Amino acid sequence: MQRQLPFFFLLTLTTALGLNSCQNRSISEENKSNLPGEGVTVTPTYVSLEERFQTEVVNIGLEKLGYKIGKMRELEPALMHTDLAEGGLDYTAAHWQQLGRKFYENSGGDQKLEKVGVIVDNAVQGYLIDRATAQKYEITNLEQLQDPEIAKIFDTDGDGKANLVGCNAGWGCETIINHHLEAYDLNATVEHESGKYFALMADVMARYRQDKPILYYTWTPLWTSSVLVPGQDVQWLEVPYTSLPKTSTSSANLDTTYQGKNLGFVTDKIMILANETFAQSHPSAIALMEQVQIPIADVSAQNQRLREGEDSASDIRRHAQTWVKEHEERFQQWLDNAQSKSGEAETGRQGKPMMIND
């Protein structure tokens, strides 16, 4: 005969399970509402599509802390810094410490902006020419372009001057390139082509495929050095001596050498920059931003995927999600550390540890 459980026992068990279920649901709901970013929308900004990847990595962390990400804005450097300072934007993961110094100071500096952390270190800039031309004419230094015969090798429009593909008008690198041309007495023989950089680089790539001489400026991290590999396809040019505009860099660090060559540009740091009011109001967000670091090789590799066609917003978001998954343990530690800051200013409450897969 099948043994029957007493009715009182069944009633007690059912009631206990129901209470436990309600309690768990209550705890879950409470934990969800205890996230430090609950109810806060964050608006990020960047300069070029190639910087959206590192921005998305930060966004993923902010979302785990409860923040909602507003529409990201792609802006020119001067406007980006101004809008950040005025509070129309909250943060960027694309501030170059030295290259963007003028934009930072002109937007109010430390009074309105806060340098939070270095997200990409050892960013390099400089001038390159194709290796075949470098070897044929023994060109190693930008100063050699003072010679009209050498400069003419890189003439692409028939005016007798070398055509140097530079960077967009209004960018910090434009100022430095123009300064170099004057400081090294190159204005008479070299023309700085300043326009839409990636359109200009498409022409550089086409000339290279046709075995024609090329002369261009670039920076890292960027896909250009994956396609035209320094030391293999192209060669860095040295400058005769270091000369930089006073507004472009601080005098505290003028190390412009890379792999034993003086490239003329300070080895830079790409930083996360936040609006000062936002930074003071959201310590958990700032604590996360202080920690996020992405190897320069990872950014360059992602940029190459952009060039190969994976350049939609959803593509870049997927790239960032994959990077986070591949660095799960480190990312989780960043979240835990940031979560420990909750309550200092934004909510006054203790939140639960957020897991990457939540």
Count of Cβ atoms closer than 10 Å to residue 192 Cβ: 19
pLDDT digits (tens, 9 = 90+) for 333-350: 999 999 988 755 554 333
Q: Specify whether the CB–CB gap between 284 and 346 falls below 8 A.
A: yes
Q: Alpha helices of 245-295 — where are they, by DSSP H? A: 276-281, 283-291
**How many CB atoms are closer than 10 A to CB 2?**
3
Distance (Å, rounded) from C-alpha 73 to C-alpha 260? Answer: 38
Which domains are present in the chain? 32-120+269-339 (3.40.190.10), 125-266 (3.40.190.100)
pLDDT, tens digit (0-9, with 9 covering 90-100), for 256-287: 999 999 999 999 999 999 999 999 999 999 99
pLDDT, position 341: 80
Dist CA 103 CA 26 (whole Å): 49
* pLDDT, tens only, 20-36: 444 443 323 344 558 99
For residue range 156-181, list pLDDT tens digits in order. 999 999 999 999 888 889 999 999 99
Decide: 196 and 176 in contact? Cβ < 8 Å. no
| Token pair 């430095």 in the structure block, residue | 176
SS3 218: strand
Whether the Cβ atoms of residue 274 and residue 91 lie closer than 8 Å to each other? yes
Residue 340 pLDDT? 87
Q: CA 62, CA 285: separation in Å to the nearest integer?
A: 6
Greatest mean pLDDT range, 79-83, 99-103, 246-250: 79-83
Output the six-digit token pair for 118. 């270095």
